[in-house]
Amino acid sequence: MIKQQNLVKSSFTLLETLLSITLLALVIGGFSKSTYDDEISSKNYMLLNSLENSFDTKDYDKFTSSNQTIKLIVNSETIENLNVKKYEFLNEHIKLIKYEK
Residues 8 and 31 reside in one and the same domain: yes
Residues 67 and 90 reside in one and the same domain: yes
3-12, 26-35, 62-71, range with the lowest pLDDT: 3-12
Angle at 72 between CA 69 and CA 76, to 5 degrees: 150
Is the overall model pTM greater than 0.85, yes or no?
Answer: no
pLDDT for 17: 85
pLDDT for 19: 85
Residues 95 and 81 reside in one and the same domain: yes
pLDDT, averaged across the chain = 82
6 lies in which domain range?
A: 1-59
pLDDT for 85: 93
Distance CA(55)–CA(76), nearest Å, equals 33
Residues 21 and 37 reside in one and the same domain: yes
58 touches 38 (CB < 8 A): no
Quick one: average pLDDT of 48-62?
A: 89
Residues 33 and 44 reside in one and the same domain: yes
Q: How many domains does the chain have?
A: 2
Residues 73 and 42 reside in one and the same domain: no
High-pLDDT (> 90) share of the chain, %: 22
Residues 40 and 87 reside in one and the same domain: no
* Residue 87 CB-density burial (10 A; 0-12 exposed, 13-18 middle, 19+ buried): buried
pLDDT for 5: 58
Residues 95 and 68 reside in one and the same domain: yes
